[in-house]
Each structure stands twice: as structure tokens, then as C-alpha cells.
Amino acid sequence: MEALITPLSSSTFSISHKHSYCSFSPLTTSTFLLKKPHKNASHRVQNSKYGNFLDLVPENKSEPIKFDLNRLDTSKRARLDLIVIGAGPAGLCLAERVSRYGVRVCCVDPDPLSMWPNNYGSWVDELSCLGLDDCFDKTWPMASVHVDDRKTKYLDRPYGRINRKTLKMKLLEGCVSNGVKFHKAKVWKVDHQEFESSVVCDDGTELKASLIVDASGFSSSFVEYDKPRNHGYQIAHGILAEVDEHPFDLDKMLLMDWRDSHLGNEPSLRVSNSRLPTFLYAMPFDSNLVFLEETSLVSRPVLSYKEIKLRMAARLRHMGIKVKRVIESEKCLIPMGGPLPTIPQPVMGIGGTAGLAHPSTGYMVARTLALAPILAESIVECLGSTRMIRGQPLYHRVWNGLWPLERRLTREYYTFGMETLLKLDLNGTRNFFDAFFDLNPEYWHGFLSSRLSLMELAMLSLSLFGHSSNSSRIDIVTKCPAPLAKMMGNLVVESI
């Protein structure tokens, strides 16, 4: 899933971490294979106590983008309409869209030209409909899902890896041509008056604007909640690796591998995996270069990172994959589901800070890029008009523009999906995805892309029950009532 490789760094979605997916030059197969190893990188194979990659030093060499930004002159008290915190995909996309209409925008980020640290994957059609076809550095015509050792499903839906440098350059070019100003600093504090807000940065600069949008990521404290944040968590460990060889079909990306035969000689890992399953996600670029990621789809509390890495090491040993170089290493942690931020409130959110991560899958990048223009329209209607709608009316319009009632209701359903997945063990999870990918493609496409209506989601549920095995139906009947009751209660509250 796209967010399976979504970052945790403050510059991506405004996370402070999520990752922290490291940065490096644009990804092309030939680039990596021709690149000389870092002089400090280890090339030992299978010498670790656990085998394979755990003893290898990730190279993770980061190279900032070379680009002339419009720097904010802090010696002048420039009048701003909008301040965007964070220069990840969410922040830059929103800044670029809003600035098209003459709204004065400043983007504040600790390092606006740094490469986004983590990998992003997406269904090709999701970026194509946004005019971003040229932002893939590799696509696969099909995806595959190993349900177990006996059953594999092939998904006739192209999938691709986003070229982070291409996407960031495109967004930066749009920002610069539209006059967006950039300030290199970290925001420490946000204050509000009746019709104006201000940010205080770690360099002592104070900037004021009519609206602050937080695009700095999941860990931000600027967006407030009025309900307990009972998130589920998706955690993963990924590596871009040069290997001796691998068993993956170069014409298919591996979306999910739920097989656990690799844990046959690891009794303790097998027991824990039966209760809290993880799967392998793989992007094969050529016969010697592959991106591999072991992922816990959702857990609460979060599965330990050590457990994830040990399962991945066991899986690679079983598959005979010998890692020669770890070109990149990344850790992914995505809060999923839970309540939306307080609506409305003075700080607007986008990306992780606005609850846009898919509650059932963690997908967020493509969805954020699609919703940024919708939020931009709401902002422009207020700040780009001669009436200059500000204060509470502005906050109400922008928050409800991003989260209208229908979108809030469908999110409750996706959260119900997450709560159900939390209750499934390995066999239950396998049965669920066996039935899920047997659905009419319009249903599973729409579910993964967050574009089904509430009625379509209800029809999906009926169809899923019809396609499920008897054991899966028992799971649904015995484990779904509590999440279902919670969802129905939330739907009623949201509708009032």
C-alpha cells in the first residue's frame, strides 16, 4: 500500500518522523547499480547473528535539491495571507495551488530543499488523474498478493514508485513561479488573535498571516483534538537493496505476501506472527535491485520495530535472498484511524495532521495530492476575495471544505475496517484479503483509493460477506459487532 512506504519525517507529510525516510538522489535502476559503495559501507553477507541485512550499514547518502527559492526577507514586515508549515508533498502542493490566485503564501520548513526521506508508492491511475504521470520512476503492469503458500492473486491494476525528486521539483517550480516565499526554520509556537495568527520560529523570527496550515506531519502538536487519539499503528522496515538474486517477477510488484513458511525454524516469531501478522511488500527493479519492506498493516499497541526486522531477516533467509548492499534503510510508523482533529479550529491541517491517512491501509500520498486543490479552493474563496473572510468564518469554511459531512461519514466506515482488521489473526487476515480481492475491481479499487460513497461501501460489505469463506463469516459475525456498533454511533453523532 502506498503508505506502506510513507515517511515519518517532518519534511514529508509533516510528520516528525514517520519516517524519516532518508533522502538521496532520484531513483533509477541504472543509477543505483552504477553507484560506488560508500567507503564505510559493510559488504558482509550472512555474517550477522540473524543473517542477511541486519549487520550491513545503510548508505543513505542524502543530496539536497539545487533550486533557487524565493527567500522571505525577514527584515521587512511582509504581509502574508497564508503560512504553510512543512515542505513535504502536502505542504508544497497546497502552497502551489493557493498561490496561483495571488494569495500571498510563505512555506516554513527546517530544510525546504532536502530530499524527502522515504519511498512513496501509488496506484498509477491515482497520479494519472492528477496529471502526474511523469512522476513515476518505475511502474509495474500488475501487482500480486500471496494469501498463503497455496493461493496467489494477481491484480490487474498498474502500480508505481514515485520519483520523489521529480515530484518535488515540479511542486517547487510551481511555487516559485507563483511567488511563494520560503523561510528556512522550524516553527516552535503558534499564536492566534481574532483575525490573525502568528508563528514563532527557532531563529527568533515571528511571521503573521490570516491562516496557518500545518503540513508538518503526524507528530505535530499545533493541531488540536477534543477526543482521545486511539490510533491503530502501521509500522514497517524497508530497505533498497542490491542482492545476488531474488525470486520476484520483474513484471509485477508484490503488494502483500502473507506466507509464514519462513518462520518454520523460528517458533517464537511464528507464534507472535499468528497473533499479529506481518507481510512482505516488494518492488523488483531488476534482477539485482529490489525494495523490500516488512509491514504490520495495523496494530494497537504498535508492534515492536525489533520484531518487524527479525521477521524480515527470517523471511529473506528462507527466500535465499542475500543482501550485498543496503542502499537505503527506512522506518515507517503511521498512526491510522482514531478521531479527526477538532473541527473547526484556528490551525488548518493537511496530510497527516488532518487525518488523511487511510484508516484501513495507511495510504495517504495520492489522496493528499488530490484533496490539496479542494482545500486550496476553500482558502482562496476566503483569502483571495475582496471580502477577506477571516477568523471563525474562515476556519469553519476551510475545515468543512476538506471534511464535509459525506467525507467524514465514509471515514467512519474506513475506520470500522481498521477496527475489524485489529481483531483478526493471521488466518482471519488471509481469509479477509482472499475475499476482498475477489470483489468487483470497482469496489476494491475504490476502497483502497478512498473514493467510495457511503452507499457503495455498504454494497461492498454485502459483497464481501458473500465472497467470504465460512470461517471468515464466523469472524465477521463474532468479531465485528463491537466495531460496527461503534461506527453506527459515530455516524449518528457526525450526522447531527
Q: What is the pLDDT of residues 151-176, one digit of tens each?
A: 999 999 999 999 999 999 999 999 99
Residues 256 and 373 in one domain: no
Residues 165 and 304 in one domain: no
Q: Of 300, 317, 336, which one is at a domain's C-terminal end?
A: 336
The whole-angstrom separation of Cα 467 and Cα 440 is 10
Task: Compute how many other C-beta atoms are within 10 angstroms of the C-beta atom of residue 167.
Answer: 24
In a domain, 270, yes or no: yes
pLDDT at 6 over 90: no
State the pLDDT at residue 22. Answer: 32
Q: Which cell numbers in the block locate residue 248?
A: 520476484
In a domain, 146, yes or no: no
In the predicted model, what is the mean pLDDT of residues 68-81?
90
Asked if residue 83 lies in contact with residue 207, where contact means CB atoms within 8 angstroms, the answer is yes
In a domain, 17, yes or no: no
Q: Does a cis peptide bond (omega within 30 degrees of 0) precede residue 301?
A: yes
Domain count within the chain:
3
Residues 439 and 477 in one domain: yes
Asked if residue 402 lies in contact with residue 373, where contact means CB atoms within 8 angstroms, the answer is no
In a domain, 148, yes or no: no
Strand order in the sheet with 197-201: 187-192, 197-201, 206-209
State the pLDDT at residue 76. Answer: 85
In the predicted model, what is the mean pLDDT of residues 33-61?
56
Asked if residue 102 lies in contact with residue 81, where contact means CB atoms within 8 angstroms, the answer is no
Residues 237 and 317 in one domain: yes
pLDDT, mean over the chain: 88
pLDDT 10s digits, 216-233? 999 899 999 999 999 999
Residues 395 and 410 in one domain: no
φ/ψ region of 285 (left if φ > 0, alpha if ψ in -120 to 50, else beta) reads alpha
Residues 45 and 173 in one domain: no
pLDDT 10s digits, 84-128? 999 999 999 999 999 999 999 999 999 999 999 888 999 999 999
Q: What is the DSSP string of 213-273?
A: EE-SBTT-SSS--SS----EEEEEEEEEEEES-----TTEEEEEE---GGGTT-HHHHHHH
Phi, psi (5° rounding) for residue 245? -170, 165
Determine which of 37-41, 240-244, 246-250 has the lowest per-residue pLDDT on average: 37-41
Q: Which cell numbers in the block locate residue 201?
A: 520560529
Strand partners, 181: 106
- Type of residue at 238: G
Strand partners, 209: 197
Residues 86 and 204 in one domain: yes
Task: Compute how many other C-beta atoms are within 10 angstroms of the C-beta atom of residue 114.
Answer: 20
In a domain, 27, yes or no: no
Asked if residue 263 lies in contact with residue 271, where contact means CB atoms within 8 angstroms, the answer is no
Burial state string for 154-166 with b = 16 or more CB within 10 A and e = fewer than 16? ebebbbbbbbbbb
In whole angstroms, what separates CA 164 from the centre of its chain? Answer: 13
In a domain, 283, yes or no: yes
In the predicted model, what is the mean pLDDT of residues 261-268?
91
State the pLDDT at residue 478. Answer: 87
In a domain, 150, yes or no: no
Strands (E) in 110-168, as ranges, are 121-123, 136-140, 142-146, 152-155, 159-162
Asked if residue 386 lies in contact with residue 236, where contact means CB atoms within 8 angstroms, the answer is no
Phi, psi (5° rounding) for residue 323? -85, 125
Predicted model pTM = 0.87
Residues 354 and 426 in one domain: no
DSSP assignment letter at 71: B
* Domain interval for residue 469: 406-495
pLDDT at 30 over 70: no
**What CATH number did the domain enclosing 379 receive?**
3.50.50.60
Q: Of 362, 377, 403, which one is at a domain's C-terminal end?
A: 403
In a domain, 261, yes or no: yes
The whole-angstrom separation of Cα 125 and Cα 141 is 11
Q: Of 360, 388, 403, which one is at a domain's C-terminal end?
A: 403
Residues 414 and 438 in one domain: yes
Determine which of 52-61, 191-200, 329-338 has the lowest per-residue pLDDT on average: 52-61
- CA dist 219 to 17, 335, 354, Å? 7, 9, 12
State the pLDDT at residue 52. Answer: 65
CA angle at 162 for the pair 280 and 118, rounded to the nearest 5°? 60
The pLDDT > 90 percentage for the chain reads: 77
Closest CA to 167 of 334, 16, 13: 13
State the pLDDT at residue 7. Answer: 36
**CA-based Rg of the chain, rounded to a whole angstrom?**
23
Residues 345 and 442 in one domain: no
At residue 209, the 3 state secondary structure works out as strand
Q: Which of 19-33, 41-55, 74-88, 285-299 has the highest mean pLDDT?
A: 285-299
Determine which of 307-316, 323-332, 407-416, 477-486 has the lowest per-residue pLDDT on average: 477-486
- Type of residue at 95: A
pLDDT 10s digits, 171-222? 999 999 999 999 999 999 999 999 999 999 999 999 999 999 999 999 899 9
Residues 450 and 410 in one domain: yes
Asked if residue 124 lies in contact with residue 159, where contact means CB atoms within 8 angstroms, the answer is yes
Residues 103 and 249 in one domain: no
In the predicted model, what is the mean pLDDT of residues 431-437?
97
DSSP assignment letter at 14: B
Closest CA to 295 of 316, 311, 283, 274: 311
pLDDT 10s digits, 366-420? 999 999 999 999 999 999 877 789 999 999 999 999 999 999 999 999 999 999 9
Closest CA to 436 of 458, 411, 468, 462: 468
Q: Does a cis peptide bond (omega within 30 degrees of 0) precede residue 373?
A: no
